[in-house]
Amino acid sequence: SVNQVWRQSELEAKLLQRIYALKPDLKEATATAILRQYRFAYLELMR
């Protein structure tokens, strides 16, 4: 659903902020890769 997708992107934005807060010098590609791993682990847990 659209609402679910929106909520997921909101979650991703929050995670990105947290990642950048921990490592401000992180490159965007690295942060995105970390985020992708987070999402994968999260989806595995929610199964």
What digits encode the pLDDT tens for the residues 4-40?
777 778 888 888 888 888 888 888 888 888 888 888 8
8 Cβ contact partners less than 8 Å away, ≥ 6 residues apart: 39
Note down the domain range covering 26: 2-46
Q: What angle do CA 26, 27, 30 make, to 5 degrees?
A: 90
- Given a cut of 70, is residue 1 above it in pLDDT? no
Report pTM.
Answer: 0.53
How many domains in the chain? 1
Between 42 and 1, where is the model more confident?
Answer: 42
pLDDT value of residue 20 = 85
Other Cβ atoms closer than 10 A to 39: 14
